[in-house]
Structure 1
Amino acid sequence: MNLVERAKNITLTPKTEWPVIAAETTSTADLFKNYVAPLAAIPAVATFIGMSIVGVTLPIIGTTVRMSPLSGISAMIMQFLQALIGIYLFSLIINALAPQFGAEKNPEQALKLSAYAFTPSLLVGALMMLPFLGSLLWLVFLAVAAYSVYILFLGMPVLMKVPQEKVVPYTAVSMICSFVAIVIIHSVVNMVIGNPYASSISSISTSSKSAEVSGALGELEKMGQKMEEANKKMEAAKKSGDPQAEMKAATEAIGVALGAGSQAEVVDKDKLKALFPETIGNLKRNSLEGEKSAMGEFKVSKAEARYGDENNHQIRMTITDTGGSKMFGTMFAWGMIEQDKETDTGYEKMGKVNGRPTHERFQKDGPSGEYSLLIAGRFMVEAHGDNVDMATIKTASAAVGYDKLEAMKNEGVKQ
């Protein structure tokens, strides 16, 4: 059954569609690649269009404001990732709770239940391109969300074999646990990507690049395969009856969801710290920090240095290595954006320099600015400056040695 027919049937005739779904055999990779991902892209792309192209008109001042392209891309990726991870994590919750309500544990059925039940909510996400609808938009979302829960309710006894008298508490507890998990996911994504609503506002021009799109689909397929493997490990751990093994498998499963697409073990933080010189021009290094964190397969290594002088000229530098994970951050989408905007107070540019995606922003008042670029598809170098010009910021950025980072591009790469 194709995507359009399945989406129509599960939305309009869920009672008759759930038995059909229950009888199907679908791999995790195929389910995510052919159904979940295309639907999850609807609200994600609509968010980008609505916030960065259409914009929101502020009635008090009568001005239309828009997210900057980078912020819009960040919001789009955040929306997309949270949908994918949320659906997968919700299936784990449904399956884990099954014995408590007399249901049958079945990870494949739980994943199908989670993937298909929220189809209406993903479809209505297209309205995100119309942010000017305001409160009416959110009322529609709430109504559709309630209907999605009803579809979930109808599917619980069919796919999970839960007794009819326990369908309501099973559904309710699953939703509560899911809400808590989504809050955690949102916090994690926010920490990695940053708050997309906090950046400057501007217009956008985009150019599609088939190579990047193909690469993203490839990463998506890998993610689906890894999720399927994680599900099998979860089941093996549960059969062992060892609570610690179950907890470890669950943690690894979440890590897989967060870090799918990672191509390499991240470079040690101390090696990144060593790239920062003691001085940049007349600015002396005041602090030097490094950290490495991991959750399952998702790993990040980061180093930060601060420079300054007695005249309050300041530079903050960061180098971040995600091991080439394209499913996190703005790295994939960044290469699809070109922008050159200038106002009386400053400018913002996005594009490529020597084949590397770059973003620079400068405000004359202050002055202050930032210069960021992606090296070898895995190292993000960011330079933020206060009371300095852009030439100084770019000099600081280059001081870490781009060639040295390029030379590290194969470190930790999985064979």
Structure 2
Amino acid sequence: MANLLDRARNILLTPKTEWPLIASETDTVSGLYTRYILILAALPVIASFVKMSLIGTGVPIFGVSIRVGIGLGLVQAVVTYGLSLLSVYVLALIIDALAPTFGGQKNPVQALKTAAYANTAGWVAGIAVVVPWVGGLIALAGSIYAAYLLYLGLPHTMRTPTDKAGGYTAVVFLIAFVLGIVIASIAGAIGGAASMGALSHGSGVEISTDNGTVTIDEGSLGKFEQMAKNMEAAGQKMEDAAKTGDTSAQQAALGEALGTMLGGTDGKTVEALKPEQIKPFVPDELGGLPRTSYNVERNTVMGLQIANGKGSYRDAAGERSLDLEITDTGGMKGLALFAGWALVQTEKESDQGYERVYDDGGMRAHEQWDTSSRSGTFDLIVADRFLVKLQGRGVEMDDIKKAAKSLDLSDLAALKNEGTKP
């Protein structure tokens, strides 16, 4: 414990002198986990549990405080902790795979050192979530400082040239940010759905709920490992592209690496639909209202594509309206499916309205109604790729849903493999 505290203090206060020492040490994956990662990664998880289940969160000056039940809190804490430990290993694999691209040397143990010790700032700052008001800002500052620690460490652990450390850091930080979103989404969804606890189920995890069970099977857990393998393959392509000196090839390889993170675990890339392919799904009339405007477009960022079509529908008096948006998540379909409402089934109702998430004919549906404004939203995930969103004002919820179902959703689903490439 004394060694752990010394290391944590030194990496936070004197990182420029501590990183060379870290890089020179002989260590193992199991040693790094047992002596450092397992302990430090638990700090923000414990703090969050104390905050949400024991102290509560809310607005104390108004007498409002919300506490998650201890059972639910423990389930969410266990899930978050497990995913956090796994994410450190996945991030280390990614750091290792990217090393040659930025002039460094591949070394899995050094990569795990990098991921673990750079994360120290985020883990320690995560304790501050128990502090009202400013806790979130402190945690955010810790994440930013973690990026700085990563920048300082990469030249020592991965032997990357100093002038390339900035780009290396930017790519790794982006990927770490995506992993954070994934972890928060999964943990939040499971924590919100669970009511009785978690239990072992073969090689997977089963969470009991009010309406049955939420099961994360062995295959789902294995997707993290598959993603890491795909990322390693993408990293090899980046290494090969770097040797050629071809800037275009390097950019394409980097886009493929990001696509592996954002596009799922099937090892495929996806070209989003062309504007002319989306336009037919934005009809001239919808729900008895004429289309007053529309826009379709496709954008590409570092090889990742996403397409979007929008249509506005109004009556002459402007009292009734529908706004349609169809998104082809394309190369980012994996991330899109981690939308908070996409993972669980739920049903809430109050005097202000209601919200429901359910399966509707093989599609994940989300509907939300606001009684006071007499407005509602109906969302659908079609073929695990397309997001259909329809917002209505001055119309009934049944009319919004009926209008959404009048779209050619089966034809849209038939395009689920369009543009998919190995």
- Confirm or deny a common fold (TM above 0.5): yes
Work out which of the residue numbers 369, 377, 398 in structure 2 matches 1:370.
Answer: 377
Deviations 1:347-389 (A, max 9, x none): 1112222342211111122221101111222221111112222
Where 1:347 maps in the other structure, the secondary structure is strand
Q: CA deviation at 1:243?
A: 4.2
Work out which of the residue numbers 274, 288, 298 in structure 1 matches 2:294.
Answer: 288
Work out which of the residue numbers 315, 324, 328 in structure 2 matches 1:317.
Answer: 324
Residues 375 and 177 of structure 1: CA distance in aligned 2, closer, same or farther (over 3 Å): closer
Q: CA deviation at 1:302?
A: 2.0
Residues 233 and 175 of structure 1: CA distance in aligned 2, closer, same or farther (over 3 Å): closer
Q: Match of 2:116?
A: 116
Where 1:337 maps in the other structure, the secondary structure is coil
Q: Match of 1:273?
A: 279
Higher strand share goes to which structure? 2
Relative to structure 2, which stretch is displaced further, 343-352 or 221-230? 221-230
Q: Match of 1:348?
A: 355
- Structure 1 unpaired stretches of 5+: 1-6, 25-34, 67-71, 99-104, 163-169, 197-202
Q: CA deviation at 1:161?
A: 8.3
Q: CA deviation at 1:49?
A: 11
Residues 399 and 158 of structure 1: CA distance in aligned 2, closer, same or farther (over 3 Å): closer
Q: Match of 1:233?
A: 237
Q: Match of 2:159?
A: 160
Work out which of the residue numbers 253, 258, 264 in structure 2 matches 1:249.
Answer: 253
Q: Residue type matched to 1:311 in 2?
A: A
Residues 140 and 344 of structure 1: CA distance in aligned 2, closer, same or farther (over 3 Å): closer
Determine the C-alpha separation between the residues in 1 that align with 2:8 and 2:216.
32
Q: Residue type matched to 2:390 in 1?
A: A
Q: CA deviation at 1:155?
A: 7.4
Q: Match of 2:32?
A: none
2:216 maps to 1:217:
no
Where 1:408 maps in the other structure, the secondary structure is coil
Relative to structure 2, which stretch is displaced further, 216-225 or 108-117? 108-117
The answer to whether the 8 Å contact 1:283/1:309 transfers is: yes
Where 2:348 maps in the other structure, the secondary structure is strand
Residues 216 and 55 of structure 1: CA distance in aligned 2, closer, same or farther (over 3 Å): farther
2:55 maps to 1:57:
no
Q: Match of 1:135?
A: 134
Q: CA deviation at 1:62?
A: 3.5
Determine the C-alpha separation between the residues in 1 that align with 2:252 and 2:414.
35
The answer to whether the 8 Å contact 2:98/2:238 transfers is: no
Q: CA deviation at 1:119?
A: 3.7
Deviations 1:278-318 (A, max 9, x none): 21233101122212223456332222211111222111111
Q: Match of 1:402?
A: 409
Where 1:294 maps in the other structure, the secondary structure is strand
Q: Show the 5 A alignment for 1:163-202.
A: 170=162, 174=165, 178=169
Relative to structure 2, which stretch is displaced further, 384-393 or 269-278? 269-278
Deviations 1:109-132 (A, max 9, x none): 67445423334345457648x555
The answer to whether the 8 Å contact 2:342/2:364 transfers is: yes
Relative to structure 2, which stretch is displaced further, 259-268 or 150-159? 150-159
Q: CA deviation at 1:253?
A: 3.3
Percentage of identical aligned residues: 25
Where 1:328 maps in the other structure, the secondary structure is helix
Let me know the Cα RMSD of the aligned residues.
5.3
> How high is the TM-score relative to the length of structure 1?
0.65
Residues 182 and 126 of structure 1: CA distance in aligned 2, closer, same or farther (over 3 Å): closer
User: Which of 1 and 2 has higher RCO (CA within 8 Å, sep 6+)?
Assistant: 1
Residues 233 and 385 of structure 1: CA distance in aligned 2, closer, same or farther (over 3 Å): same
The answer to whether the 8 Å contact 1:223/1:257 transfers is: yes
Determine the C-alpha separation between the residues in 2 that align with 1:106 and 1:348.
51
Determine the C-alpha separation between the residues in 2 that align with 1:119 and 1:95.
22
Residues 143 and 232 of structure 1: CA distance in aligned 2, closer, same or farther (over 3 Å): closer
Across the two proteins, how many residue pairs are aligned to each other?
Answer: 364
Determine the C-alpha separation between the residues in 2 that align with 1:380 and 1:63.
36
Determine the C-alpha separation between the residues in 2 that align with 1:335 and 1:89.
27
Q: Match of 1:20?
A: 26
Relative to structure 2, which stretch is displaced further, 377-386 or 119-128? 119-128
Q: CA deviation at 1:414?
A: 4.7
Determine the C-alpha separation between the residues in 2 that align with 1:259 and 1:346.
35
Relative to structure 2, which stretch is displaced further, 117-126 or 142-151? 142-151
